[in-house]
Structure 1
């Protein structure tokens, strides 16, 4: 079974345009760009566009996974609660002949838009290439394995797979997370102590596999 792809809130926030629109809710990340194209120009997209790149979990009931509801004070009927305004696939407050309800699943229940999982907690690590002395700070998801962190690092070093990854001189298990490899997350301590995260974050050292000094 394939592992889901994890995203940081910052990564989601970068997709904040109508032609590239992501949101997160209830722990998952969704690419709603196809929905934007399908309903392009529709005023019912406005509440979604206003929340582009943000978490909209507060729109939902975590138990039902559906949009929050309330009793409409005028009709006394149960209605979707949309304080930002009605949006795509939410029925109108009163019966109308011009509203089609044959669209199947509403977008918030359609898994075709799901692209991954929102990290519960992110952390910073410093990766040091001992061959070149290059250092790179990375914000990663605490749920990611070292192999998945390596994929993030490839943009800075396309040969990262040719290195042995170590922490405190101990070779890391690339199939495990940072915590599972015994690398503590001290981000909270840095924040409370007013310490510079970039200077004191945990360091992972990369040793080139053809370096004879590492025999």
Structure 2
């Protein structure tokens, strides 16, 4: 594959998938990600905008975590309840009131002209949370080096190749094979008939990490690099 063809293939994949482990790595006030309802959000700009506001506390405490339990999955809005004090339907925030949640009672110092609340604002979305992750062993037959990657089950082989680039900048210069068969780089592991056998391991009460499928890379004598 030429560098131009490989580069074009890589550019096709605009959707980004993230593992829970990757989300958890962004757990600082200056670099704060959360996930909810299957999506990943970078709330760092929100934190900077409201720096010092006490209403940031629940968000700061949720840094790097999945907060789907804050939401009603049908409405994709914050959970609600009937406020016992006012008898009105209000957002339910047992973790504490946070940015863009109105106070329990009307207050003259609370402005509601902020537009979309942060959890409805798509500008914070950075990608999709993996529904499941898998481990794969990448073996470079030229150098005999092996690397185990945690990947998202939804990712194509091109996206897995992208994850492997830190270990081998010329990864696209190799033919990727599983059990002697060339892999279709536009398809996922499952679509390439690399089965996910975790359920079978769990059924047998075995550690799924005892077996990691191996993908073999064969050098094509062409130094494609990204």
Normalised to the residue count of structure 1, the TM-score between the two structures is: 0.94
Displacement of 1:5 after TM fit? 0.4
- 2:91 paired residue among 80, 105, 110: 80
The answer to whether 1:148 aligns with 2:178 is: no
Find out whether 1:32 has 2:43 as its counterpart. yes
Q: How many residues align?
A: 210
Instruction: Quote the Cα distance in structure 2 between the aligned partners of 1:204 and 1:2.
Output: 21
User: Partner residue of 1:138?
Assistant: 149
Greater relative contact order, per chain length (Cα 8 Å cut-off, separation 6+): 2
> Quick one: distance in 2 between partners of 1:103 and 1:95?
17
Aligned to 1:194: 206
Deviation for aligned residue 1:135: 0.5
Q: CA deviation at 1:28?
A: 0.4
Match of 2:219 in 1: 208
Deviations 1:91-144 (A, max 9, x none): 011101100100000000000000000010111000000001100000100000
Aligned 1:165-204 pairs, distance under 5 A: 165-191=176-202, 192-195=204-207, 197=209, 199-204=210-215
Corresponding residue number in structure 1 for 2:175: 164
Alignment partners' CA distance in 1, 2:48 and 2:207 = 45
Deviations 1:11-49 (A, max 9, x none): 001001111000000110000000000000101000011
What RMSD in Å do the two structures reach over aligned CA positions?
1.4
Q: Match for 1:111 among 101, 109, 122?
A: 122
Q: TM-score, normalised by structure 2?
A: 0.90
Cα distance, 1:200 vs structure 2: 1.6
- 1:46-61 aligned at under 5 Å gives the runs 46-61=57-72
Residue 2 of structure 1 and its aligned partner are, at CA, apart by 5.7
CA distance in 2: counterparts of 1:147 and 1:86, whole angstroms: 42
Deviations 1:155-193 (CA, angstroms, capped at 9, x unpaired): 111110110000001100000000000001112334444
Segments of structure 2 that go 5 or more residues without pairing to the other structure are: 1-11
CA contact 2:198–2:208 (8 Å) conserved in 1: no
